[in-house]
Amino acid sequence: MVSLIPNIRTQTIPGPGSVDLARRLKAVECSEITFLSSDFPVFWRSADGCLITDVDGNTFLDATSSFGAMGVGHGHPRVQASIERQASILVHGMGDVHPSEVKVRLLERIAQFSPIPNSRIILGQNGSDAVEAALKTARLATGRRNVLSFEGGYHGLSYGALEVTARSFFREPFADQLAGIGSLLPYACDPQRVVDALAADPEIGAVIVEPIQGRAGIRIPPAGWLAHVKEACAAAGALLILDEIFTGWGRTGWWFACKHDKVAPDLLCVGKAMGGGMAISACIGSQDLMEAAWGTGSTGEARHTYTFLGQPLACAAACAAIEAIHLDKLVTRSREVGERLLADLNAMAGGHSDLVAAVRGRGLMIGVELRDRQRVWPAVVAALRRGLIVLPAGDAGNVIEIVPPFVIAPEQTSFLVSVLDECLTLVR
């Protein structure tokens, strides 16, 4: 039987094969894209479940779910079979003209699990596509130009999404090209500030928010906060756009985090885990809202589409991923495994109280916040050397993000906790 526990074979990490690929990559890729240094990254060759095998034959535990996209795990048999079947019959279709059969199946599946009754859906490829579709929909439905978002919020980096993504690192170089439709409030602020902001600017037609902030370091608002934001939106005639691109499809131990908060979004953005590893996303609204925005019938030329909208391979993967989450009961698993992992991480952090400021999470969306951000990167590198892939998060880079696939096995969560324990001792 293949071991579920990572195995480091090379004397150094990255191993010689990764070092050579880094040299070749540096010669051809724009330097902005992949971070290359003497101790990072490793180059992947294959993956199975939660384990990654690099080009040197080392194996690693993927506690990032590859940016949250591999909720069902790498190479899930149902997803793999669905992609292979689809690849043998139709790889590409015409998104908004002569659509593929599998696109219809996917839309039906999304509607079946959507928390919005009578859903109407716009597909995209990346999370930022879903956000842009939601921003356009809100503009059309309300006739208002501006959007309120929150500090720490991450909604993608394409120009429309960048309007509402908060971190200045991403925005500054392009600030003079942005239309300036966005304004910001602190995340989890006094809800009265949302009421006041909406009253002060009647041009705000939408509020976009993550139910739990992911890239900002797994920040969880107090109970009831999201419901207050929804109330403020409803009172001001603004739409609530929930960005569940990270939190959706079981990540937090709920199908959607809004279910936990008992908040009904006007528009819902999803992506990542839905695709089972393929690039696909969706903006979801009710029939009434979508028709108010876009009308009741096509004019013959779609105002919002892509060449690869509803790409059949991605649709097939997403149908299978949603099926896997449903049939393998991965939402419950995420909740139960997440609760145990959170408890184990808290117990482990008790031995590092000088270093660890907080351990927090819901389901398999967990953050370990360190008091000193300078210790985070050394801990991430030390973990990689021991076969554990984690990433830093937080605007200050002070959080170790732990978001493993929902299928993580008990021996793998034990490995994760013990490696983190060792790494925190090491970076003292």
Of 8 and 130, the one with the shorter C-beta distance to ligand PLP is 130
Is 256 among the residues that bind ligand PLP (CB under 6 A)? no
Question: Shortest approach of ligand PLP to residue 24 CB, angstroms?
Answer: 25
> Least CB distance from residue 355 to ligand PLP, whole Å?
26
CB of 153 to ligand PLP, least distance (A): 8
CA 322, chain centre distance (Å): 16
Q: Return phi, psi of residue 270, to 5°.
A: -135, 160
Q: How many Å apart are CA 396 and CA 247, to the nearest integer?
A: 21
Q: Can you say whether the dihedral through the CA atoms of 113, 116, 121, 124 is positive or negative?
A: negative
Spatial CA neighbour of 12 closest among 260, 326, 384: 384
Q: Listing from the earlier edge strand, what are the strands of the sheet with 239-243?
A: 119-124, 281-286, 267-270, 239-243, 204-209, 146-150, 182-185
**Nearer CB in complex with ligand PLP: 205/217:** 217
CB-CB neighbours of 157 under 10 Å: 14
Contact flag: residue 277 with ligand PLP (CB under 6 A) = no
Instruction: Compute, in degrees rounded to 10, the torsion defined by CA atoms 352, 355, 360, 366.
Output: -90
| Pick 150 or 154: Cβ nearer ligand PLP | 154
| Among the listed residues 210, 344, 369, 401, the single contact to ligand PLP using CB under 6 A | 210
In angstroms, rounded to a whole number, what is the distance separating the alpha carbons of residues 15 and 55? 8
Q: How many residues belong to the site for ligand PLP (CB under 6 A)?
A: 15
214 interacts with ligand PLP by CB under 6 A: yes
Q: Which of residues 37-96 bind ligand PLP (CB under 6 A)?
A: 67
Q: Note whether 254 binds ligand PLP by CB under 6 A.
A: no
Give yes or no for a cis peptide into 41 (omega within 30° of 0).
yes
Q: Residues 4-43 vs ligand PLP: string with x where CB under 6 A?
A: ----------------------------------------
Q: What is the DSSP secondary structure assignment for residue 359, as one 8-state letter? A: E
Q: Name which position in 43, 154, 187, 256 contacts ligand PLP (CB under 6 A).
A: 154
Specify the residue, 127 or 392, whose C-beta has the smaller distance to ligand PLP.
Answer: 127
CB contact at 8 A, 264 and 230: yes
155 binds ligand PLP per the rule CB under 6 A: yes
Report the residue from 41, 93, 95, 156 that binds ligand PLP according to the rule CB under 6 A: 156
Q: What is the CA radius of gyration of the chain?
A: 21
Tokens of 373: 């951000």
Q: Interface mask (CB under 6 A) for ligand PLP, residues 227-246, using x and -?
A: ----------------x-xx
Can the peptide bond before residue 14 be classed as cis, meaning omega within 30 degrees of 0? yes
> Closest residue to ligand PLP, Cβ-based?
127
Tell me how far CA of residue 57 lies from CA of 13, 49, 207, 409, in angstroms.
11, 16, 47, 21
Q: Judged by CB under 6 A, does residue 282 bind ligand PLP?
A: no
Least distance in angstroms from the C-beta of 209 to ligand PLP: 10
Taking CB under 6 A as the rule, which mask of x and - marks residues 129-148 in contact with ligand PLP?
--x-----------------
Give one DSSP letter per residue of 179-205, joined into a string: ---EEEE-TT--HHHHHHHHHH-TTEE
With binding defined as CB under 6 A, does residue 362 bind ligand PLP? no
Shortest distance, position 206 Cβ to ligand PLP, whole Å: 15
With contact defined as beta carbons under 8 Å apart, do 166 and 184 qualify? Answer: yes
Residue span binding ligand PLP (CB under 6 A) among the ranges 76-84, 151-159, 218-226, 387-395: 151-159
- Contact between 222 and 188 (Cβ < 8 Å): yes
For residue 174, what is the DSSP state?
A: G
Contact call for residue 127 and ligand PLP (CB under 6 A): yes
Question: Is residue 126 near ligand PLP by the rule CB under 6 A?
Answer: yes
Measured from the Cβ of residue 288, the count of other Cβ atoms closer than 10 Å reads 12
Stretch that binds ligand PLP, among 58-66, 113-121, 170-178, 208-216 (CB under 6 A): 208-216
Residue from 115, 253, 265, 271 binding ligand PLP (CB under 6 A): 271
Shortest distance, position 306 Cβ to ligand PLP, whole Å: 13
Only one residue has tokens 């991430």, namely 380
Residues forming the site for ligand PLP (CB under 6 A): 67, 126-128, 131, 154-156, 210, 214-215, 243, 245-246, 271
